[in-house]
Chain A
Amino acid sequence: MLSFIKAESFKLSKKLKSWLGPLLVMVLVLIAFPLSIDISQYDLDKFYFSIIIVSLLMTAFVATEGMFEEDFEDGSLEQEFLKEKDFYKLVISKIFVYVCLIGIPIAFIGALFSFANGVAVDSFGKVFLLLILSNLLLFNLFAFGNALSINKGAMLGVLSSLPLALPVIILLGRAIRSIQYEDGFFAVTTLMVGIGLMVSAIMPLIISVALKTHID
């Protein structure tokens, strides 16, 4: 497994556009959205978290686009299948690396910008943690969408993964509220950790089957 993680980290680090692009999109949206409205007209602090959440959704989608496509196109998936007979380790390593190299920095940027919402400095850790957990879920779901859409058209992936992302957004909204009102943070976080672990274990299995179907 370590060799997979090492190889995937190396590959992703060499693809500047793949990891830096989503981070820049996140920063741009978080800066541009407040600038594009007359903020004096509104209490920005009331809905700035929504901007962070929507940006998170967008950047997670952008970041996972092409996650498996390149390996499929250049024949690496076939080679991987010959070695391992399935893709479970590859998928789990890929998602792990994407979460570490893209998801965590995105979560950090989101948490940093949350101060625009008047979040207290001591809540930084909570927001950061929630955004990481959300990214873990979103990256798994969008990786599934990407695996489906390798050679069957991108729409299939979008149509199948976006509805699955909506509960994550609702859960994240609930978690953010628990920080704002200091109520039930532990319960929501525990729920997210539980779902995150389940999704991280099961989703790679489903993705693995989808990838096998593509190379057959």
Chain B
Amino acid sequence: MKLFSVQNITYSINENKLFHNLSFEINSGEGLHIKGGNGSGKSTLLRIILGITSPSKGLIQSYDQDLKISYLGHKNAIKNYLTPIENLELLFSGDDLNVAFEWLNKFGLSHVQDELTASLSFGQQKKLALIRVLAQSSDLLILDEPFVGLDQATADQLNSFLAQKISQNAGLILTSHITPMIDCAVLDLGAKNA
């Protein structure tokens, strides 16, 4: 099933084109790895797909009005003055909350679940942010540099979780400097300002 298509997207900053006439589409059960140098527009492209940033030209067409998207940006969207449990309680309720608690176990955060998030390491905070995304039942996952801050074991674990999501028919778009160990198409935006 088609999730959305990107049609002839162009984005410029101060007459400097980050990308020009870019087109692709994402179907459910498919993954796309966007790679490119620093400043090549990977995050901007994700934000355009999400509708947060408007493109200079072109169109994003969604084929499902109720498309559920989970997004992990550069900012983790977690509250430092709350515990991991409280952070999840803010976002989930009922059965979804139980699912989120299971993800705490999967990522090995159960032993710090009652500590303030501010006292957790960067990697642990990143795991919590990933739980926020993975615990949602979404049609499409959009992840901006999900592997940053993770140790090798957790990165491998994340690869298998993402592969599992794709096998469950979710779409996946991620940007990363590390090649993900999942079967997905690659879009290379090239070096900076290419």
Binding site for B on A (CB under 8 A): 7, 10-11, 14-15, 70, 73-76, 78-79, 81-82, 85, 215-216
Contacts and interface: CB of A to CB of B under 8 A. Distances in A.
A79 B71 contact: yes
Interface stretch (B8-16, B78-86, B156-164, B174-182): B78-86
A15 B79 CA distance: 11
Interface residues on B, range: 20 to 34
B74 A75 contact: yes
A70 B74 CA distance: 15
Given A7-B90, A14-B86, A215 B76 contact: no
Contact of A75 (B54, B77, B86): B77
Interface in B15-56: 50-54
A76 B52 contact: no
Given A10-B90, A14-B82, A14-B86, A81 B52 contact: yes
A70 B79 CA distance: 9
Interface of B: 50-54, 69, 71, 73-82, 86, 89-90
Main secondary structure of the interface of B (DSSP, over half): loop
A74 B75 contact: yes
Given A14-B81, A216-B53, A216-B54, A75 B73 contact: yes
A78 B53 CA distance: 11
Given A78-B71, A82-B71, 17 more contacts: A7-B90, A11-B79, A11-B90, A14-B82, A14-B86, A74-B77, A74-B78, A75-B73, A75-B75, A75-B76, A76-B77, A78-B73, A78-B77, A79-B77, A81-B52, A82-B69, A85-B51
B188 to A, nearest CB: 26
By Cβ-Cβ distance, the 8 closest A-B pairs, closest first, are A75-B75, A75-B77, A79-B77, A76-B77, A75-B73, A7-B90, A14-B81, A74-B75
A164 to B, nearest CB: 29
A70 B69 CA distance: 23
Nearest to B78: A74
Contacts of A79: 71, 77
B120 to A, nearest CB: 14
B6 to A, nearest CB: 17
Contacts of A10: 86, 89-90
Given A82-B50, A82-B71, A215-B52, A74 B80 contact: yes
B138 to A, nearest CB: 11
Contacts of B81: 14-15
Nearest to A3: B93
Nearest to B54: A216
Given A10-B90, A11-B90, A14-B86, A74 B52 contact: no
Nearest to A10: B90
Contacts of A14: 79, 81-82, 86
Contacts of B78: 74
Contacts of A75: 73-77
